[in-house]
A and B are shown apart, each in its own frame.
Chain A
Amino acid sequence: MIKVNHLKKSFGKNEVLKDINEEFSQGEVVVVIGPSGSGKSTFLRCLNLLEEPSDGEIVFEGTTLTGLNEKDLNQLRQKMGMVFQQFNLFPHKTAKQNLTIAPVKSKGVDKHQADQTAVKLLRQVGLGDKEDAYPASLSGGQQQRVAIARALAMDPDVMLFDEPTSALDPEMVGEVLKVMKDLAQSGMTMVVVTHEMGFAREVADRVLFMDDGYIVESGTPDMIFSNPQNERTQDFLSKVL
């Protein structure tokens, strides 16, 4: 579904991604782990071209995104939902409006229909009673669940998560992971950057370990957590587990 060929990304002289090759297939749930600064976020943001790659190509559902014109790129981005560490909900919109604005304004979905979908999705993430609440009145966990629903409202083929629980108080992590687990079970293709090793073990089909701009090791959760091959993976896991 997504194919990454020789992806490189530099910020000025700082080469953050150094030749990444990877493929994500339909329905697969992949968790990306690695030390801080290793390039996980940058990698994820390159997938939907929020960051422009310096070199290499990203192919999504058969279309090469790199070098694509603005208009087509916007269309393809609609198929790739993204959830941010800081939620990034639109503070001047209610929960429901957060879910309907993009479908109505940019996808041309009928307002009434968008409303219905929004209500359904909010219920799905357990926030059926918060339609008209503004983000500021919601807890972190609730905001992140709205953010997930917002991405789902575009009916994406893949969901990208960048540390969705890192900004949350510990007691709220569970409710968000639960929503993500349900999503995974429903067959959604997901790429998740996270430090939640429990989630990775339980939900992931595959775990990628990134370090210093490379994907150092890739395998099933079992392989990575119980029997890491690379020295750097072992070192990292010994610190976090």
Chain B
Amino acid sequence: MKGVKGFIALLILFSILFIPAEPVSAEDGSALQRVQDQGVLVVGTSADFPPFEFYAVVDGERQVVGMDMMIAQKIADDLGVELQIQDIGFDSLLPALEARNVDVVIAGMTPTAERRRNVDFSDIYFRTFQNIMIRAEDEDIYDSIESLRGLTVGVQSGSLQEELAEQIPDAEIMSLTDLNDLLLALKTNRIEAIVMQGPNAEAHAGHDEDLHTFVGGFEMDDDDQGSAIAFRKGEDSLVDAVNESLAEIKEQNLIEEYLAKAGEYMAQTELDEDGEEIEAGFIASYWEYFLDGTLITLLISASAVFFGLILGSLLALMRLSKVFLVKQLATAYVEFVRGTPLLIQVMFIYFASGMFFNLPALTAGIIAVSLNSGAYIAEIIRSGINSVNKGQDEAARSLGMSKNDSMRYIVFPQALKNIWPALGNEFITIIKESSIVSVIGVGELIFQTRVVRSISFQGILPLFITMLIYFALTFSLTKLLNFYEGRMNHD
């Protein structure tokens, strides 16, 4: 099996390229220096967690606000640097930190023993409590941990609450990534309760009369009751500097001030009580999120199609080459990319690149989706080229055209026509699959939908709108492709 050899060679090549010989870590005293040298503090957060971090319109511009962000601003001011906020999915925050995509993580994060194994934490800046969220109609039935015995309880995956939920006797636990999905599951009776961080639960219950929450009374370690800022291991100088700011915040009782301010931002997003007006008001309030998301989705898809076509053509020609090594290299690439999930590729490119230079999430996303679609397009093009009658190339060569000219002017244009429908399918797939880049915090359509769901406290309507937008995109693309297919048809 020669293909296997090429494949292994490619794997080795990948490892050499992407895995540094020794872990880059622990620059004693220099972490603080580094941040001050670069003049900005890059803070990673997951902005679907009011009142800690969420989106609001400030001075006509949407930005991430909340208590944590005010703390971040104070820290940046104390360090004398600019603040830059990167909104990433909660699951991806610590990997992003370790991969150097961000300097610190401030996301209402609890410094559990498990997390402490991989990262360092600041002092606890906010003592919190853990709540149980239920449907308002069940207010009289469920009032304690014990009352939930044997029922289905939802938690955010990878969270502290996931561990706490085990204290509910015989409970069946359902873990989801997105808090909004949990709330939706609760409202649609799929689960009976959610274990949620206290202030966050209160924020939601306060905006939704169908929800009710109470303090859970879970047994917790001291550590588990607070939020702290996460750092890469060994960056003590930075930790110390941040702790100083935190101490000041505590001294001056700034947290309360911050929370009050966050409450004001949340009030902005409040909606009408009346059912019908909600819908009109909904579009009016959030259309910008959908527009932004749609534009970014289009940008990613268009770039991926463009670069994917170039890369795909190149790979297809390499696979048709007579040179063994060239052919095997392309084959290995195609097989490898098609044999691994796009999700992993996106995360790999984003995090692996973070070890060397700071690639913006959008760029990383575009690169990953392009590299991925290139492999699929290569296969489509190759089959298209093979589908062109051999006599076409022979006729061209008999006229004295070179191999390249024959490919370029005679074979390729015909191949393109043959594969147009398959290419169209691939383009539509790209539009839909590009949503995966939301995991690294790229603000495309799915990401914005998540944002809207968290700030509007609406579960289903944003999903429905997003579905319509995707359909409008793919449907018009289909029409456009059909139009061009018609124009190419001379038979």
Binding site for B on A (CB under 8 A): 48, 50, 70-71, 74-82, 84, 86, 88-92, 101-102, 105-107, 134-136, 147, 150-151, 154
Contact = CB atoms under 8 A, between A and B. Distances in A.
Given A50-B397, A91-B414, A86 B490 contact: no
Contacts of B33: none
B402 interface: yes
B401 A91 contact: no
B405 A105 contact: yes
A88 B397 contact: no
A240 to B, nearest CB: 26
Contacts of B396: 90, 102
A152 B405 CA distance: 19
Given A101-B409, A134-B490, A136-B491, A106 B400 contact: yes
Contacts of A150: 399
Contact of B400 (A77, A91, A135, A147): A77
A77 B490 contact: no
B484 to A, nearest CB: 13
Contact of A78 (B400, B414, B488): B400
B401 A92 contact: no
B490 A48 contact: no
Given A102-B396, A102-B399, A151-B399, 6 more contacts: A50-B398, A89-B395, A101-B410, A102-B400, A102-B401, A105-B409
A10 B405 CA distance: 29
A34 B410 CA distance: 33
Given A92-B413, A92-B490, A106-B405, A84 B397 contact: no
A147 B399 CA distance: 11
A55 to B, nearest CB: 21
Contacts of B490: 91-92, 134-136
A150 B413 CA distance: 19
A5 B97 CA distance: 74
Nearest to A49: B397
Cβ-closest 8 pairs across A and B: A78-B400, A88-B395, A102-B399, A82-B398, A88-B391, A134-B490, A77-B400, A136-B491
Residue of A74, A81, A89 with most partner-chain B CB within 10 A: A74
A131 to B, nearest CB: 14
A150 B402 CA distance: 17
Interface of B: 389, 391-392, 394-403, 405, 409-410, 413-414, 417, 488, 490-491
Nearest to A50: B394
12 contacts: A50-B398, A77-B399, A82-B398, A84-B395, A90-B414, A92-B414, A92-B490, A101-B409, A106-B402, A106-B405, A136-B490, A151-B398
A106 B398 contact: no
Nearest to B389: A88
A90 B394 contact: no
A53 B488 CA distance: 39
A39 to B, nearest CB: 18
Contacts of A74: 397, 400-402
A84 B27 CA distance: 73
Nearest to B410: A90
A24 to B, nearest CB: 17
Contacts, number: 74
A101 B405 CA distance: 10
Given A50-B394, A86-B391, A105-B409, A92 B399 contact: no
Given A90-B395, A136-B491, A105 B401 contact: yes
Nearest to B416: A92
B269 to A, nearest CB: 56
Given A88-B389, A92-B488, A106 B394 contact: no
A136 to B, nearest CB: 4
A91 B392 CA distance: 9
Residue of A50, A80, A88 with most partner-chain B CB within 10 A: A88
Nearest to B395: A88
A81 B491 contact: no
A101 B396 CA distance: 9
A119 B392 CA distance: 22
A9 to B, nearest CB: 16
A74 B397 CA distance: 7
B214 to A, nearest CB: 72
A79 B398 CA distance: 9
Contacts of B399: 77-78, 81, 102, 106, 150-151, 154
A147 to B, nearest CB: 8
B394 A88 contact: yes
Contacts of B395: 82, 84, 88-90, 147
A105 B405 CA distance: 7
Contact of B398 (A70, A80, A86): A80
B241 to A, nearest CB: 66
A147 B392 CA distance: 12
B388 to A, nearest CB: 10
Contacts of B392: 88, 90
Contacts of B488: 92
B400 A75 contact: yes
A91 B396 CA distance: 12
Nearest to A45: B394
B403 A70 contact: yes
A235 B396 CA distance: 38
